[in-house]
Amino acid sequence: MQRKLHIGGKARCPGWEVLNVLPGPAVDHVGDAIDLGRFADGTFSEVYASHVLEHFDYNGPLLKALKEWHRVLVPGGVLRLSVPDLDVLAHLLLQRHRFDLNQRFQIMRMMFGGHVDAHDVHLVGLNAEFLGGYLQAAGFEAVQRVPRHGLFADTSDLEVAGTPISLNMNATRPLTVGAAMPAPAEPALA
Q: pLDDT tens, 52-105?
A: 999 999 999 999 999 999 999 999 999 999 999 999 999 999 999 999 999 999
CA-CA distance, 82 to 39, in Å (whole number)?
22
Beta strands 166-172 and 141-145, pairing class: antiparallel
Which has the closest alpha carbon to 121: 61, 168, 50, 56? 56
Say whether pLDDT at 183 is over 70.
Answer: no
* Full-model pTM: 0.90
Q: pLDDT tens, 28-52?
A: 999 999 999 999 999 999 999 999 9
